[in-house]
Homo-oligomer: A and B are copies of this chain.
């Protein structure tokens, strides 16, 4: 499947934290930047996400804000 989202960032899962319904996933991109994602536990399980697994962070460009110092 090929998706319209402009941001498809490749990385490796480095941490997974379980909540009651959601799961927090930390993905480390090549170069070291880290991206935090909150998805449902059901989705995380369906994708088999766990530390060490290669995965992608998918973000629609209209959900990315910019800031400067």
- Total copies of the chain: 6
Min Cβ gap A28→B in Å is 9
CB-based contact B1/A2 at 8 Å: yes
A33/B29 in contact, CB under 8 A? yes
**A-side interface residues, number (CB < 8 Å):** 52
Which of A24, A25, A38, A53 has the most CB atoms of chain B within a 10 A radius of its CB?
A38
Q: Which 3 A-B pairs have the closest CB atoms?
A: A31-B31, A19-B21, A37-B64
Contact B68 A47 (CB under 8 A): yes
Rounded to whole Å, the gap between the CB of A62 and the closest CB of chain B is 5
Q: Does A64 lie within 8 Å of B55, measured CB to CB?
A: no
By a CB distance below 8 angstroms, the chain B residues around A67 are 1-4, 8, 47, 55-56, 58
